[in-house]
Chains A and B, each alone.
Chain A
């Protein structure tokens, strides 16, 4: 492979990484389309464009590691191994959904895969992964907790508190900032004064790096280093991934705050899947035929997920009363 440490990644893992990114992309493009039909309820925030971040990070985690996600959480859930068919059903609010229709897009969680939840509260996740880190440390496991936070979330007190907390307590935690340029509609050039979020790590005495979030290999290399350091007892790290959101903050956002050709330009020149395909085919690690086959399989999976979600029953109304407590 060209560049970075990617030369050591086995071909099977690269094909899987492509499959994950393609699954995220197709899931999101399809959700966008299905949402327009009016059958899908709620607020939906799409991850398309940022696939290399979730995939590059989660590919260096084990199933026993945990992630805490954001309101834009579908990509993280898919990358951490949540079942795509159940996720689609959850978006439709169906009984077969990941959370039995109780969570929806913003609360998809599956602790059996280490997915500690998408999160409707901006900045909600970083303190939670400090808990994962403390749990691993006290129980003597080598698990790691990773939080994803947007550039908007990086201005929350919880994020900054957690950087200090994890550093002071030497917790096995990695803070990933997905800087997609906008906190909702507010540009990061304004809300961060144009300074990299990664520089904030310096103030808390932990390593911070900036990587190209459209480059799977760059993200994966940085994540491998940070996760490895955490696992070995070296404490927390911060990774800022510069990335691009292909859709609005939510489905329905008119995005008048963006340049007219901003997204089209990114789709053409900075697309993580195109970038990945070019790299692996040029290096001879995978062929276009192999990747095309994955595209077809993923398209079939997403078709099936939508069909099953639409056909699935809604939860029984009285199930609204269940699962508030373990016992009460």
Chain B
């Protein structure tokens, strides 16, 4: 049965269903229930800082665990637990907190299998919230998924809608490698049709959101919706919109196939322009699809600055539907190179 639910509810449901099905799935982190240790207050007071895991503590009191505010210990605990029989979901409340615990993720969890000659499995999921748009300023708004994408041994997932959020999270929990599951904070209230029953969306398979002939637009996470708004503003340009859904593994074929058809590529990404996903995808097409290109690739990204606080500054920072539309129009009008 399919219902219309939010991205946030889709994530909650995926966790609930996998925990019900598999007693080795545990979820822990800062305030994932909230209220732990309070003598008089309510258990499950928060359910995560934005309430994404609300209600799960009651059903799984021994497997939904509040922890001390210690991100390194949380991430190391996930890695050690994954290597010794659990399927942990560790919550890194904001992706920006990566800086205090990166070692446990990229030197420990990501490398166990390789360093140990293929003898280890580290089936863990790090759920983390990212992205700008909530005036959360420079230390709570970043889109740092390219840093994880850079690390061999990690898989990186960025659902752009409720259906993908549930299916990709179930896939992540069942996967046997460490997965970084990046939830955009501005998408939690997004509604969409989601089947009630458990299902998976495979990694490394892009979603062709809409087909078109003139310009390929590749967008990730929140930028998928922004690109759709931009496309609605266009007049007479046929756009193929591709949502890769996962940055590692990455569906190179889907992008190259589309650019072969359109010859024109706009990449829209919320991460920083230097060594970000836009640069990476542009590099892919430049090295493996150069002969398809009729015009130079256009990247639409934030400027190379921290994320600013005030609303007009943050709006200026984020790629807007207007900027994306202008980029598409400009590229569509560029004369075919000889």
Chain A positions near chain B (C-beta within 8 angstroms): 66, 68, 97-103, 107, 109-112, 116-117, 119-121, 124, 126-132, 134-136, 138-139, 143, 145, 157-158, 161-162, 164-165, 168-169, 322-328
Contact among B77, B79, B107, B120 with A165 in the assembled complex (CB-CB below 8 Å): B77
| Contact A165 to B70, CB < 8 A, known contacts A103-B117, A138-B86 | yes
Contact among A100, A111, A121, A322 with B83 in the assembled complex (CB-CB below 8 Å): A111
Given contacts A103-B115, A109-B112, A161-B72, 14 further A-B contacts (CB under 8 A): A99-B116, A109-B116, A124-B103, A124-B104, A126-B76, A127-B74, A129-B80, A131-B84, A134-B77, A139-B24, A139-B86, A322-B118, A323-B118, A327-B176
B73 within 8 A of A: yes
CB pair A103–B80 under 8 Å, yes or no, is: no
| Contact A103 to B86, CB < 8 A, known contacts A130-B76, A158-B72 | no
Produce 1/0 per residue, B83-103, CB < 8 A to A: 111101000000000000001
Count chain B residues whose beta carbon lies closer than 8 angstroms to a beta carbon of A.
47
Give the residue name and chain of the A residue nearest to B178 (CB): A325
| Contact A127 to B65, CB < 8 A, known contacts A121-B107, A132-B84 | no
| Contact A97 to B117, CB < 8 A, known contacts A134-B81, A139-B86 | yes
CB pair B118–A132 under 8 Å, yes or no, is: no
CB pair A116–B76 under 8 Å, yes or no, is: no
Which residues from chain B contact A117 at a C-beta distance below 8 Å? 112, 115-116
CB pair B63–A109 under 8 Å, yes or no, is: no
| CB of B69, distance to nearest CB on chain A (Å) | 9
Give the residue name and chain of the A residue nearest to B107 (CB): A121
Which residues from chain B contact A129 at a C-beta distance below 8 Å? 80
How many Å lie between the Cα of A68 and that of B81 in the bound state? 12
Which residues from chain A contact B80 at a C-beta distance below 8 Å? 66, 68, 116, 127-132, 134-135, 145
| Contact A111 to B119, CB < 8 A, known contacts A121-B108, A127-B75 | yes
| CB of A39, distance to nearest CB on chain B (Å) | 21
CB pair A124–B107 under 8 Å, yes or no, is: yes
B152 within 8 A of A: yes
Which residues from chain A contact B84 at a C-beta distance below 8 Å? 66, 111, 116, 131-132, 135-136, 143, 145
Closest 4 CB pairs of A and B: A127-B76, A131-B80, A323-B118, A99-B117
